[in-house]
A and B are shown apart, each in its own frame.
Chain A
């Protein structure tokens, strides 16, 4: 995707958001008239700025946008983080983290098991000491806490 088409895409998104804000604020009840006026103000500025972005010239030569420099690693990282978030309520925070850290390190191409185990141990010990022991945060326990 070129920089100019990206700018157009963001500008159209901005105009869409401004329209949605305007539409949303129009349905506010009378008692929230001031809140509606504030949202109208934001929607107006958003629309103007998006129009400026849409209409202004992109400096030539138009360059390509590099969204992701290493697609494979990026994909693994995003999927692993989302999956990690999804399994925490089921398996509990510590077991999920003990799985997540080595798995993502391996997926990112790291092949030194001793350092992976050490790194996982250090991070989880730190989290346990600071958050669970000192701050009393009830980390999710999943099926183990039922």
Chain B
């Protein structure tokens, strides 16, 4: 690892890197602060922009968006009680009461510092743990990769909101769409209906942009603007210092966020709620939580930014995205020709460590931006939807066209967008569908090669020690979903 750190640091001295990280953080904060728009959408729309950049610049840009987006959600959560991202929902519990008490500035300061330290803790964990996990993944053969894909899929879909069956159906629908095109082992063309543009499979980027961007703007058509009462909220802001006694809560939140973020599917929303509850239960004054206790803001925000580094650990080492933003980020890696796994930490070591170190810079950038400019970012949330919707549609069209310079991709993006909208309304998960699309080729190759190795016996997936370990982890990850389903059934029966 050490042999890559110095060249990676040197590569970060390029002023362009700082420029793209700052641009990414600003875009991320703005998008994160706007309820209805997500960091996933911003990353998906920016991937085509990174296509012509050097890999480090492209990854640094997306890293900046990810960090900034995770923090930006706190701004509208505190000022408007409308979380910019689902991960900032727990922030509103104490952040909004603080704003109502005229302490909006203090709440924003706490959120900014907590997000910063949460991000730093998780990036340190990423730096130290990822190389070891990548080395361990060298022991994986085709059967392990197949079970790993199932693990990534089942864990993320079981933790999606609503029905577990619908989550699983969404994921397997993604795997099914991924079978379109040439079979990786025999070269046989499947389900292309003679359409030449599908011979290489369903292009990933148009699907990603359609599902994460167009489906969202269609949902925005129901409202005239995202937020109405921004001026009243901004009047509560005065620049404030960070209250004392929050360091323990922030450190704990950062660690919780990192651990939960590493679990495929668990993600920032769950980690911020776990951290919030933990802070409340361990506090001497739990009754003050929900009424404007800064510890509540610190716990939630440090945990959701703690997820950033955590979710990148399984992504960079095993190719399993920890959440939907990481799934979109994987698209950015793939477009640069980078395959997650041990090679990222050996052959492309300078680039990978450069990207990880750039996350430290991204955290510093959003800290400075957040401390001084948060109220200005909040103003952007009053942009009318009638301008946002066509604007995002134009970016989606040129973004999906730019990858292959092909109008077929634009039509595919529109089709995925409309289908994604109705699937979401029907309670299905577009995040799980995208994950299925990503994991499809890994799962199929692993499945086919394993059956060749075992001369057709499916027992190969249950005999090898690492496969058994992965099945056990899969079952463990599914327990929360099963238990919550059982609870719901029990409650209904009562």
**Chain B binding surface SS class:** helix
Would you give the 0/1 interface string for B353-397, flagging 1 where the beta carbon is closer than 8 Å to chain A?
A: 000000000000000000000000000000011110111011101
Q: Does A145 contact B (CB under 8 A)?
A: no
Question: Once the chains bind, are B398 and A34 in contact (CB under 8 Å)?
Answer: no
B183 x A137 contact (CB < 8 A): no
B198 on interface, CB distance cutoff 8 Å: no
Tell me, yes or no, whether A91 is within 8 Å of chain B by CB: no
Interface pairs (16), CB distance under 8 Å: A31-B186, A32-B188, A32-B190, A34-B183, A34-B452, A35-B183, A35-B188, A42-B175, A69-B221, A78-B218, A97-B397, A100-B390, A100-B394, A104-B389, A105-B386, A137-B402
B166 beta carbon closer than 8 Å to chain A: yes
Q: Considering the chains assembled together, what is the distance between the CA atoms of A80 and B395 in angstroms?
A: 15
| Chain B residues whose CB sits within 8 angstroms of the CB of A34 once the complex forms | 183, 185-186, 447-448, 451-452
Contacting chain A: which of B124-132, B325-333, B334-342, B404-412? B404-412
A46 touches B169 (CB 8 A): yes
Q: Which of B426-448 contact A (CB under 8 A)?
A: 426, 428, 444, 447-448
CB-CB < 8 A to B386: which residues of A? Answer: 104-105, 108-110
Chain A residues with Cβ under 8 A from B186's Cβ?
31-32, 34-35
A131–B398 CB distance below 8 A: yes
Cross-chain contact B426 with A14 (CB below 8 angstroms): no
Known A46-B169, A65-B425, A131-B398: A88·B410 in contact at CB below 8 Å: yes
- Is the beta-carbon distance between B426 and A52 smaller than 8 angstroms? no
Tell me, rounded to whole Å, the shortest Cβ–Cβ distance linking A62 to chain B.
13
B224 touches A109 (CB 8 A): yes
Q: Mark B14-48, 1 if CB is under 8 A from A, else 0.
A: 00000000000000000000000000000000001
- B172 located at the interface, meaning its Cβ lies under 8 Å from any Cβ of chain A in the complex: yes
Q: Is the CB of A66 within 8 A of B52?
A: no
- List, in ascending order, chain A residues with CB within 8 A of B390's CB: 80, 100-101, 104-105
Which residues 18-43 of A have a CB within 8 angstroms of B? 21, 24, 28-29, 31-32, 34-35, 37-39, 41-42
Indicate if A143 sits at the interface (CB-CB under 8 A): no
Which residues on the B side are within 8 Å of A85 (C-beta)?
Answer: 397, 407, 410-411, 414
Residue of B49, B52, B402, B447 ringed by the most chain A CB atoms within 10 A = B402
Check if B168 is an interface residue, CB within 8 A of chain A.
yes
B125 to chain A, nearest CB (A): 34
**Which residues from chain A contact B418 at a C-beta distance below 8 Å?**
78
The chain B residue sitting closest to A29, CB to CB, is: B188
Interface presence of B13 (CB below 8 A): no
Q: Which residues of A does B touch, CB under 8 Å?
A: 6, 10, 14, 17, 21, 24, 28-29, 31-32, 34-35, 37-39, 41-42, 45-46, 49-50, 52-53, 56, 59, 65-70, 73-74, 76-78, 80-82, 84-85, 88-89, 93, 97, 100-101, 104-105, 108-110, 115-116, 119, 123-124, 127, 130-131, 134-140
A21-B176 in contact given A70-B222, A89-B407 (Cβ < 8 Å): yes
Q: Flag B435-470 by CB within 8 Å of A: 1 or 0 each.
A: 000000000100110011000000000000000000
Q: How many A-B residue pairs have CB under 8 A?
A: 168
Known: A35-B186, A45-B172, A123-B394. Contact between A24 and B410, CB under 8 A? no
B-side contacts of A101, CB under 8 Å:
387, 390-391, 394
B165 touches A52 (CB 8 A): yes
Chain B neighbourhood of A134, CB < 8 A: 52
Q: A50–B165 Cα gap in the complex (Å)? A: 8
**Which of A24, A45, A56, A130 is close to B49, meaning CB atoms less than 8 Å apart?**
A130
- Report how far A84 CA is from B392 CA in the complex, Å: 13
User: SS class of chain A's interface: helix, strand, loop or mixed?
Assistant: helix
Closest CB of chain A to B121's CB: distance in Å?
A: 34
Which of these, B163, B191, B218, B426, contacts A24 with CB under 8 Å?
B191
Contacts beyond the supplied A52-B165, A108-B221: 19 A-B pairs with Cβ under 8 Å: A10-B169, A14-B169, A24-B191, A32-B186, A35-B183, A35-B185, A37-B447, A53-B169, A67-B425, A73-B222, A78-B218, A81-B214, A85-B411, A101-B387, A101-B394, A115-B384, A119-B391, A135-B51, A137-B402
Cβ-neighbour of A35 out of B169, B172, B385, B448 (below 8 A): B448
Kindly state whether residue B401 has any CB partner on chain A within 8 Å: yes
Q: Does B60 belong to the interface (CB within 8 Å)?
A: no
Cross-chain contact B165 with A123 (CB below 8 angstroms): no
Interface centre among B405, B422, B426, by most chain A C-beta atoms within 10 angstroms, is: B426
Chain B residue with Cβ nearest A39 = B179
Least CB separation from B425: chain A residue: A67
Asked whether any CB of chain A lies closer than 8 Å to the CB of B217, the reply is: yes
- State A14–B163 Cα separation when bound (angstroms): 15
Which B residues are CB-close (under 8 A) to A104?
A: 386, 389-390, 393
- How far apart are B192's CB and chain A's nearest CB, in angstroms? 11
B347 CB within 8 Å of chain A: no
The yes or no answer to B492 lying at the interface (CB within 8 A) is yes
Partner of A131, one of B165, B168, B402, B425: B402
User: How far apart are the CA atoms of A45 and B172 in the complex, in Å?
Assistant: 8
Q: Verify A10–B426 contact, CB threshold 8 A.
A: yes
Contact of B218 among A28, A77, A89, A105 (CB under 8 A): A77
Q: Which of B172, B218, B410 has the most CB of A within 10 A?
A: B172
Asked whether A74 and B218 contact (CB < 8 A) given A42-B175, A65-B426, the answer is yes
Q: In the assembled complex, which residues on chain A have CB atoms less than 8 Å from the CB atom of B407?
A: 85, 88-89, 140
Q: How far apart are B215's CB and chain A's nearest CB, in angstroms?
A: 11
